[in-house]
Amino acid sequence: MPTLLLKSQTTAWIEELPRHLPDLKVRHYPDIGDPAGIDYALVWLPPPGLLKSLPNLKVIFSLGAGVDHILADPELPAGIPIVRISDPHQCHLMSEYALLAVLYFHRAMPAILADQLQAKWTRRWPLYTPETAVGVLGLGEIGQDIARKLCAIGFPVHGWSRSPKRVDGITCHHGQAGLRAMLPLCRYIICVLPLTEATQGIIDAAFLQALPPGAFVINMGRGGHVVDKDLLAALDIGHIAGAFLDVFDVEPLPPAHPYWQHPKVVVTPHCAGDVVPRTAASAIVANIRRHLGGDKLHNVYQPDRGY
Ligand code: OXD
C-alpha cells in the first residue's frame, strides 16, 4: 500500500488525498511510524534531515510552486525527484493578489486612505490605464495567468522570462537584454520568479534605477529576489513610489524590520497564494499514479534550470 508522509499544518490533505487514491495511506508528521514504510513525502519547509531519514522515499512533492524550502535542507537526499505543485486555485489566488496590489497603487489608495484619516475630500484619478504598463517577471503558469488578467482589465502587459516565450496579448521579453529593454517601460513591476542562483537579488539598485521614476514594486516571488537595502533607498529618495511585499528573506518578518513601519510599503504575511487541498490533490495523486505505473512524472524540478 503506497504511503505518503505529510508535513503541513493543513490537515485537510489527510482526507482529500485518499479520496482520489483510496489505497493511499497518509501519515502526518511528526507521526512518521516506520520510516522505511514511506514512499512519498508532501512537504512545506521540511526540517533538515527529515527526508534523508526516509530510506525508501521515491518522490518528494513540494507544497508550493517553489522548491527552495526543500533545497534549503543541507541533508537533502540526492537523486529523488522533487515535484512542484500545480494548483489552479493557487494560481487564481496569486492573480487576485497581483490585481489587488496593482489597483491599490493605480487607484491612489494610499493617498485616499491618508485623506480619509483627515476627513479630506480629494478626488484622485489614475494614470490612463491603456498607457500604463505592467511588467511581470516570470512567465510560468502563475505569471501567465496574472499577465492575462491584467491585460483583460486594460493594462498593456510585458512579461519577462529566462528563455523566449509567446503569450497572446503580452509583449514578451527574455534574457538580460530583454530585461533592460522592458524595465523602463513599466510603471508596475510584479515578481513571481522562482528563486534560483540567477534570480537571487535580481531587484537591486541597478534594476530599480532602470524603472521609470514613480514606479511600484510588487513582490510575490521570494524575499531573496529583492535587495532590501536597495529597495528602501529607492523608496526613500522617491524614485520608487511604493512597494507591496508578500515575501521576505526572513519569515515571519522580524518586528524591527523597516518595512513594517515604512509609509510607502504594504507588508502581507506570505498569503498571496495558498495551495488548496480540494483543487491540488488530484494533480498530486495523478503523479503518484504515474509513478506507480512507471510513467514519467509531471512538473519535476530541474536542477539545471533551478526550478
Ligand atoms: C509557493 C508559495 O511556493 O506559496 O507556492 O510561496
Nearest to 97 by CA among 216, 299, 272: 272
- The pTM score is 0.94
Give residue 56's pLDDT: 98
State whether 83 and 94 are in the same domain.
no
Nearest to 231 by CA among 212, 216, 251, 250: 216
State whether 190 and 107 are in the same domain.
yes
Nearest to 186 by CA among 125, 266, 127, 271: 127
Give residue 294's pLDDT: 98
Split the chain (307 residues) into runs of 10 and give each run's mean pLDDT: 96 97 98 98 97 98 95 97 94 98 98 98 97 98 97 98 96 98 98 96 98 98 98 98 98 98 98 95 97 97 93
Q: What are the grid coordinates assigned to 75, written together?
A: 541533508
Structural domains in the chain (count): 2
Ligand 1 atom closest to Cα of 273? 4
Whether 239 is catalytic is no
C-alpha of residue 26 to centroid of ligand 1, in Å: 22
103-132 per-position pLDDT tens digit:
999 999 999 999 999 999 999 999 999 999
State whether 115 and 249 are in the same domain.
yes
C-alpha of residue 194 to centroid of ligand 1, in Å: 9
Give residue 192's pLDDT: 98
Please give the backbone phi and psi of residue 194, each rounded to the nearest 5 degrees, phi first: -75, 155
Residue from 27, 222, 225, 291 carrying the catalytic annotation: 222
Check which CATH number belongs to the domain holding 65 and give it: 3.40.50.720
Task: Give the alpha-carbon dihedral of 127, 129, 131, 137, to 10 degrees.
Answer: 110
Ligand 1 atom closest to Cα of 90? 5
Give residue 169's pLDDT: 97
Nearest to 44 by CA among 93, 15, 92, 82: 82
Residues with C-beta less than 6 Å from any ligand 1 atom: 64-66, 273
State whether 134 and 262 are in the same domain.
yes
181-208 per-position pLDDT tens digit:
999 999 999 999 999 999 999 999 999 9
Residue from 270, 289, 290, 291 carrying the catalytic annotation: 270
State whether 80 and 220 are in the same domain.
no
State whether 77 and 93 are in the same domain.
no
Residue 299 lies in a domain: no
Nearest to 82 by CA among 304, 233, 301: 301
Nearest to 222 by CA among 259, 148, 161, 272: 272
Residue 167 lies in a domain: yes
What residue's CA is closest to ligand 1, atom 1?
64
What residue's CA is closest to ligand 1, atom 6?
64
State whether 39 and 150 are in the same domain.
no
Q: What are the grid coordinates assigned to 44, written together?
A: 512545506
State whether 69 and 174 are in the same domain.
no
For 117, how many CA atoms within 13 A lie in the half-sphere containing its CB?
5
Whether 69 is catalytic is no
State whether 209 and 263 are in the same domain.
yes
Domain that includes residue 49, residue range? 3-87+275-292
State whether 23 and 145 are in the same domain.
no
Nearest to 182 by CA among 156, 160, 199: 160
State whether 76 and 208 are in the same domain.
no
Q: How far apart are CA 71 and CA 177, in angstroms?
A: 29
252 upstream amide cis, omega within 30 of 0: yes
State whether 201 and 260 are in the same domain.
yes
Q: What are the grid coordinates assigned to 109, written together?
A: 489608495
